[in-house]
Structure 1
Amino acid sequence: MSEATRATLPSTWPRGLRRSFMLFSTFRQEVADPDRFYSVLATDTAVQISRFARIPDAVIVDVGGGAGYFSQKFTELGAHCLLVEPEAVPLLDEPMPNFETELERHDWLCRPGRLMPGRTIAGDGMRLPLPDNFADISFSSNVLEHVPSPEALIRESWRITKPGGTIYISYTLWWSLWGGHETSPWHFLGGHYAARRFEKKHGRPPANKFGTSLFGYRIAPMMKIIRELPGAQIHAEPRYYPKWLRWLVFIPAIREATVWNLLVVITKPA
């Protein structure tokens, strides 16, 4: 992509509480208007990453990137992006059909390659089919809580990242208000109970099945795994909150319920 055709990050982007309120209001549109929701979130994420790493010309691996909204944004900004999904079937863009259930909509949106034909490969985030030191940036947004071995995903992200590169990992905390995803807040009474209650009420199981595609992860065990990475420089903060609330991530117990979504940015030593 030439310099002339590259998109650029917005010269101004909401900050502090204004940014948080913008994101929270956008989250409410995820089902009704997913293109708008993911477009705003992808731009916000790119702005966030740019605090730690340069996006133009970077090789970025988007682990578990679903429909490709983040990869699309990174590519527009001049990155060389590769999306990794368990079952990658390259498809051309297509209009969104009508759906009878939210589950059908979710499944269609997550069809790998819908927005990124030709730049998607099949692969498991816990066993990435990529060589060591491949990427400038390894990226996973809200993937960790959906894999049975978060340690494997973290270590694979580390392995494929070049020395001096950046690893961006965010995930939803189980004990936060939205830890159970569509079964929230009943997950506080147990993931299996919340899933049964959801199915009884809606006549179908939740898209995220507890113990299979949704797991209850906390901050402390994840940070322990990350601190074991040799020479890693670690920055952690609540992903959607103002920077001045970063202190929440350092208070045991309280952080599990208040942070909601944890962002960890890891720099691999050069």
Structure 2
Amino acid sequence: MVGNKPSGYSLKSMKHTRALATFSRAWQLLRSFRFEQTRPVIFYGGLAKDTALLIDSLSRDAGLTLQGAKVLDVGGGPGYFATEFEARGAQYFGVEPDAGEMTAAGISIANAVRGDGTALPFADDTFEVVYSSNVAEHIDKPWAMADEMLRVTRPGGLAVVSYTVWLGPFGGHETGLWQHYVGGEFARRRYEKTHGHPPKNVWGTSLFAVSAKQGLDYARGKDVLLVFPRYHPSWAWWIVRVPILREFLTSNLVLVLRKQPANQ
């Protein structure tokens, strides 16, 4: 959809993105979640490939190409995503605030920058595509980050925010599938008692409750190309139209925004 209403989407023109969103893809991604911390190469390698495919499909549906495009990954972590985007001809840039996270996988990226997603160290209108994958739920000001992403996107380019919905099945991340429904602090304490150490994603510090409604409210009034549940097959995208239900059944929400010229 192109317009400013983040509901009632017209999906017929999104043929490349819809073709990617199959049940088998969804199942494969869901199965890989259990390896996030124990075997990160499996999890992040698969997620990187899927993210590049997704951004490529969204770009083609928007009349853009990754060939020769400058792509900014906000919160890119240890660099698993770079190779996948470079294989598609893009010039990849990564921003990550945590120096330890940047070097965790021993991957060297020429265009990796240490910086804050809510104050990106780039000039206005620099990149054709700016995206963040599973970052918004880890910072306390996710929509300030989204504003910054739009700021550094070139007019006509795309800003893509993909994040884990708190009330979805994976909202608690490694602290469990149901514990976060009792509360984030409860989930943290239970994890620490069970495992003898704090979780990687600590409630109130590096994990926050971000709802689907917040994302839809943020998108309102902007040029929205598409809003959809990332890990669902395309026939299940209708979930995001239904209040309350979307909070529990959307594991990850994707906002696809087009940057408009300043005079519009």
CA offset at residue 32 of structure 1? 3.8
Which among 190, 198, 212 is matched to residue 183 of structure 2? Answer: 190
CA offset at residue 63 of structure 1? 0.4
- Structure 1-normalised TM-score? 0.82
Query: Larger relative CO (CA 8 A, sep 6+): 1 or 2?
Result: 2
Q: State the alpha-carbon separation in 1 of the partners of residues 200 and 89 from structure 2.
A: 34
Determine the structure 2 residue equivalent to 1:69. Answer: 80
1:42 lines up with 2:48 in the alignment = yes
Determine the structure 1 residue equivalent to 2:7. Answer: none
CA offset at residue 175 of structure 1? 0.4
CA offset at residue 155 of structure 1? 0.3
CA offset at residue 84 of structure 1? 0.5
Residues 166/215 of structure 1: CA separation in 2 closer, same or farther (3 Å cut) = same
Cα shift readout 1:198-234 (whole Å, capped 9, x = no counterpart): 11111111111111111001011222122244xx223
Determine the structure 2 residue equivalent to 1:127. Answer: 119
Paired letter, 2:210 = Y
Runs of 4+ in 1 over 4 A off after TM superposition: none
Which among 44, 48, 66 is matched to residue 55 of structure 1? Answer: 66
The secondary structure found in structure 1 opposite 2:58 is coil
Q: State the alpha-carbon separation in 1 of the partners of residues 242 and 187 from structure 2.
A: 27
Q: State the alpha-carbon separation in 2 of the partners of residues 81 and 113 from structure 1.
A: 17
Q: State the alpha-carbon separation in 1 of the partners of residues 171 and 98 from structure 2.
A: 26
Determine the structure 1 residue equivalent to 2:253. Answer: 262
Determine the structure 2 residue equivalent to 1:225. Answer: 218
Q: State the alpha-carbon separation in 2 of the partners of residues 34 and 195 from structure 1.
A: 21
Please say which of residues 13-22 and 148-157 is displaced more in the overlay.
13-22
Partners of 1:72 and 1:116 within 8 A in 2:
no
Cα shift readout 1:27-57 (whole Å, capped 9, x = no counterpart): 2333343223222222222221122212221
Q: State the alpha-carbon separation in 2 of the partners of residues 134 and 110 from structure 1.
A: 22
Q: State the alpha-carbon separation in 2 of the partners of residues 21 and 264 from structure 1.
A: 22
CA offset at residue 268 of structure 1? 1.5
Please say which of residues 13-22 and 139-148 is displaced more in the overlay.
13-22
CA RMSD, Structure 1 to Structure 2 (Å): 1.9
Structure 2 unaligned regions, length at least 5: 1-18, 60-64
Partners of 1:82 and 1:120 within 8 A in 2:
yes
Paired letter, 1:61 = L
Residues 228/111 of structure 1: CA separation in 2 closer, same or farther (3 Å cut) = farther
Please say which of residues 218-227 and 57-66 is displaced more in the overlay.
218-227
CA offset at residue 15 of structure 1? 5.1
- Structure 2-normalised TM-score? 0.84
The secondary structure found in structure 2 opposite 1:24 is helix
Determine the structure 2 residue equivalent to 1:174. Answer: 166
Which among 203, 225, 236 is matched to residue 234 of structure 1? Answer: 225
CA offset at residue 190 of structure 1? 0.6
CA offset at residue 113 of structure 1? 8.0
CA offset at residue 173 of structure 1? 0.6
Partners of 2:21 and 2:232 within 8 A in 1:
no
Identity of aligned residues (%): 39
Q: How many matched pairs?
A: 237
1:59-138 alignment to 2 at 5 Å? 59-88=70-99, 111=103, 114-138=106-130
Q: State the alpha-carbon separation in 2 of the partners of residues 114 and 31 from structure 1.
A: 16
Residues 33/199 of structure 1: CA separation in 2 closer, same or farther (3 Å cut) = closer
Cα shift readout 1:226-256 (whole Å, capped 9, x = no counterpart): 2244xx2231111011011110001000000
CA offset at residue 23 of structure 1? 1.5
